[in-house]
Structure 1
Amino acid sequence: MKIALLTNAYPYHPGEQFIEDEIQYWAKNPAAHVTVLPAVARGEPRSLPDGVALDLCMANGGLGARLLAMSTALFSATYWRELAYLRRSGKLDLYTIARALLHTSKVVAQAASLRRYIERHGHIDVAYCYWNDTQSYAAITVRAMGGVNKVISRIHGIDLHEMRRPHNYMPLKRQFIHAYDRVFTTSREAQAYLEQTYGASADSISVSPLGVPLAEALSKPSGSGTVHIVSVSFCVPVKRLDRIIEALRLFAERHVDVALSWTHIGGGPLLQQTRDLAAAQFAGVSNVAFEFLGEMVNGTVKKYYLNTPVDLFINMSESEGVPVSIMEAMSAGVPAIAPDVGGISNLVSNQCGVLLGKSPSIDDIVEAIAKVALGDKKEVLRTNARKMVEEKFSSDKNYAGFVANVLAIGAS
């Protein structure tokens, strides 16, 4: 069966590290013949497993092609339907008008590229869209013209939650959400949001959590009198890294006998600003050390937990799916503290860390850190963290099952 995997950039950098685990299961299945079609391709790609092909037909279109797509989009029914929605919803302004046109032009250009791919390589049995965004809308457009049999899409966080988009606007989704053969969410909470916010049909949605390989060994805790905390995220406002910094400072001031260290992994537009904030907040607090390691490839992050003692993982996001970053830490036996947003409650609980409220106070965060890192049940929490991933978020279970589901949809 011919599978076109539409990605933002994978196998090119940056991001989409979780595909690195999933793609292995596509490569192992003899019924699947997968070609990856990224929308962006810059620099050197990551290696793909044997049997998985790469085609750049959808990537890095020239200025002329973009201008042609823009002019076509301006007179398209999709664009004018979107303007009508913006008017009805009270969201019509210069920003949303421009975003609607930009996203419609991307659909036009990506659909044209996908049609050219089909002309060269033949029909596509399943267009598997890793993100529920313009590439998936383009695949639906092409399916209506012939050449694509089925279109399925995953949906995560940035492509689901309107609050994470400027002006609380998710371009085009309401026009296309009813047209998929199947949409796969990462949690029941995401499914409910998709139905309530966009009117998606429950019959077209399946829950399929992401997964991680089980760490071959477990991370070790720090020695007595020391606490090492790790966070992994893109440095953007929704991740609320400023709250982590404030909580760590207060924890250090309350526990002067504890040597606290914090490691943040991940880049992003607020990286330097966050580093400067940490330096300012921790100035004069003698028992705190911190480091920002920037972007790290997925395999290096996994090795980090095995080679470095880590006492807990912290996430303070305002909006999430079911974070793979937390799964990877818990796979290595590192308990997590995180807020009850998105699908986090499917992964984090008080049995394997601390599940906080949606917007926890700084005192709440400090108390959670103390419970996990210093409490008398910290070893039990570490054991339970690993068990949670073994039972619900193992890539062997989740990705093998997902591949089988997609192939069954393609054969139906």
Structure 2
Amino acid sequence: MRDESTYVYQKSERTIVCFTASYPYGNRETYFETELKFLSNAFEKVIIIPRYNPFKSDGRREVPANVEVLDPIVVQGWRRVLYGLFNRSPVKSFILEFLKKKVFLNHNHFLKWFNALLVHRTTFCKIKPLIRSLDKNTVLYAYWAEIPLFTSDCVRSFKKVVRMHGGDFYLNRNHGYLPLRQDIYDAANLLLPISKDIANVLTTTYNQTSSKILINHLGVQRSIHEIKPYDVTSYNTKVIVSCSNVIPLKRVHLIVDALKLASSEENIEWHHFGDGIELKAIEKRIELLSDNIKVFLHGWTSPNKLMDFYRANNITWFINVSKYEGIPVSIMEAFSFGIPAIATNVGGTSEIVNNENGYLVSPDFEPQKLLDLITGTKVDRYLNMRINAYNTWNNRFNASVNYQRLISKLMILNEQNNIL
């Protein structure tokens, strides 16, 4: 079957520069890996500039042949302070922000401001020679909203694109402050919120015009477009899956709390993919579960292996009990196999999960409520949910559709002679 990332577009003769957090180093930003296939097919050259290398190693993921990866910008440890302070990069926008927002009155705000200042000054110093060498028709694309560079005069003549996910956007997830966000959004020519909720905040809080906003959901790509068959004879044993970092934000312990309440007659098998600082605590909680609850902690797992697991197993539910979210790509992945979701109604989750393809629960739900939803859904309704979950993915979160839409917008932006 032909790769759908090669559909439709004639390759542009121009360049796009992508600013990532760490991709292709480490194992994060797996969503960008899919998007990159479309970008590399549409542009003659793609330059990736990662902010840092989380593992401080030379190992990195493979990229398409026309993609050039530059060295990570920011070093870790005390040298970040040294390089960030002792250079001649401009500081005007940060000083104005410091005074206007009274950053000095809040310790958390000051730490965010100071770290952003260090990263920006290091970035500016290292990137300026590259910027001078680029054709003015080059598109600059920040995969995260943490890009103060876009407020600098040296990039004023370039088309600038900013994507917003959740953790890099919502103030309530960042002690009420994110440095220079108003200036960054004002400077951008195209804003790419991953959800309607973020788009609404852009217009109401940051006064951005709808003409420069494209709601561009992330997406999941499948080579086979058909719902995975479900063996209904196994419905008495509920097989649930969760996939996230095991950190306070994700509240994985709440799944254990729900499973503790299961009666001896309820057979449940739980698979969790992901690791993190709370994994040891989860392992201790699991020891208290009864024998009819089987738990498998798989640790960090590559996206391809996770898809293989979905393909090979009869999964009943996908569970997400996070405190905050954008629109979870993990739910998109599950939906692409027709696996319904039970998820907390936070962030943009309600834009993908509803009572036709799963259940939304309150962020402060009781564990018994989660257990009841896992075990209490009638089989006929459940089978309809599987169909609706798959259709939700195929109609709204299929990467081949969403990223082609993005490419179309970038091509229009790329051809414009003047800043929007």
TM-score after normalising by structure 2: 0.86
Aligned pairs (5 A) from 1:154-173: 154-165=163-174, 167-173=175-181
Inter-CA distance 411–74: structure 2 relative to 1 (3 Å threshold): closer
Inter-CA distance 348–98: structure 2 relative to 1 (3 Å threshold): closer
Q: 2:266 aligns with which of 258, 270, 276?
A: 258
Q: 2:139 aligns to what?
A: 126
Inter-CA distance 370–52: structure 2 relative to 1 (3 Å threshold): same
SS of equivalent to 1:268: coil
SS of equivalent to 1:127: strand
| 8 A Cα contact 1:127 1:148, kept in partner | no
Inter-CA distance 402–193: structure 2 relative to 1 (3 Å threshold): same
Residues 66-116 of structure 1, C-alpha deviation per residue, up to 9 Å, x if partnerless?
41422559982233223224428xx82333223211111111111222213
Residues 24-49 of structure 1, C-alpha deviation per residue, up to 9 Å, x if partnerless?
112222x4421111112343111112
| 8 A Cα contact 2:269 2:295, kept in partner | yes
SS of equivalent to 2:138: strand
SS of equivalent to 2:304: helix
Letter in 2 for 1:385: A
Q: Does 1:392 pair with 2:396?
A: yes
Residues 264-289 of structure 1, C-alpha deviation per residue, up to 9 Å, x if partnerless?
11122222223333334x2xx22111
SS of equivalent to 2:145: coil
Letter in 1 for 2:216: S
| 8 A Cα contact 1:371 1:378, kept in partner | no
Q: 1:36 aligns to what?
A: 48
Task: Give the whole-Å Cα distance in 2 for the aligned partners of 1:160 and 1:175.
Answer: 13
Task: Give the whole-Å Cα distance in 2 for the aligned partners of 1:290 and 1:235.
Answer: 15
Letter in 2 for 1:45: R
Q: 2:381 aligns with which of 365, 374, 377?
A: 377
Q: 1:3 aligns to what?
A: 16
Task: Give the whole-Å Cα distance in 1 for the aligned partners of 2:250 and 2:166.
Answer: 12
Q: Between 353-362 and 335-344, report the one with greater CA deviation.
A: 353-362
Task: Give the whole-Å Cα distance in 1 for the aligned partners of 2:32 and 2:171.
Answer: 24
| 8 A Cα contact 2:320 2:343, kept in partner | yes
What displacement does 1:208 show? 0.8
Aligned pairs (5 A) from 1:277-356: 277-280=285-288, 282=289, 285-356=290-361
SS of equivalent to 2:346: coil
Give the aligned CA root-mean-square deviation in angstroms: 2.5
Residues 118-155 of structure 1, C-alpha deviation per residue, up to 9 Å, x if partnerless?
3456556111111001xx221442xx225861110110
What displacement does 1:310 show? 1.0
Task: Give the whole-Å Cα distance in 2 for the aligned partners of 1:221 and 1:234.
Answer: 30
Q: Does 1:246 pair with 2:251?
A: no
Task: Give the whole-Å Cα distance in 2 for the aligned partners of 1:28 and 1:258.
Answer: 50
Task: Give the whole-Å Cα distance in 2 for the aligned partners of 1:197 and 1:276.
Answer: 44
SS of equivalent to 1:303: helix
Residues 202-245 of structure 1, C-alpha deviation per residue, up to 9 Å, x if partnerless?
44322111111136362645724311100011122221222222
Inter-CA distance 149–121: structure 2 relative to 1 (3 Å threshold): closer
Letter in 1 for 2:122: A
Q: Between 67-76 and 382-391, report the one with greater CA deviation.
A: 67-76
Inter-CA distance 288–203: structure 2 relative to 1 (3 Å threshold): same
Q: What stretches of structure 1 of length at least 5 have no aligned partner?
A: none
Q: 1:116 aligns with which of 122, 125, 129?
A: 129
Inter-CA distance 320–231: structure 2 relative to 1 (3 Å threshold): same
Letter in 1 for 2:173: R
Inter-CA distance 32–360: structure 2 relative to 1 (3 Å threshold): farther
Q: 1:267 aligns with which of 275, 279, 285?
A: 275
SS of equivalent to 2:165: coil
Residue correspondences, number: 397
Q: 2:105 aligns to what?
A: 92
TM-score after normalising by structure 1: 0.88
SS of equivalent to 1:35: strand
Task: Give the whole-Å Cα distance in 2 for the aligned partners of 1:36 and 1:219.
Answer: 39
Letter in 2 for 1:33: K
Aligned pairs (5 A) from 1:110-259: 110-119=123-132, 125-133=138-146, 136-141=147-152, 144-146=153-155, 149-165=158-174, 167-214=175-222, 216=224, 218=228, 220-221=230-231, 223-250=234-261, 252-253=262-263, 256-259=264-267
Q: 1:50 aligns with which of 51, 65, 68?
A: 65
What displacement does 1:169 show? 2.6
Inter-CA distance 78–270: structure 2 relative to 1 (3 Å threshold): farther
Q: Between 217-226 and 381-390, report the one with greater CA deviation.
A: 217-226
Task: Give the whole-Å Cα distance in 2 for the aligned partners of 1:195 and 1:69.
Answer: 33
What displacement does 1:161 show? 1.4
| 8 A Cα contact 1:73 1:79, kept in partner | no
Task: Give the whole-Å Cα distance in 1 for the aligned partners of 2:37 and 2:380.
Answer: 40
Inter-CA distance 400–190: structure 2 relative to 1 (3 Å threshold): same
What displacement does 1:168 show? 3.2
Inter-CA distance 272–61: structure 2 relative to 1 (3 Å threshold): closer
Inter-CA distance 276–168: structure 2 relative to 1 (3 Å threshold): farther
Task: Give the whole-Å Cα distance in 2 for the aligned partners of 1:308 and 1:62.
Answer: 44
Letter in 1 for 2:82: L
| 8 A Cα contact 1:225 1:257, kept in partner | no
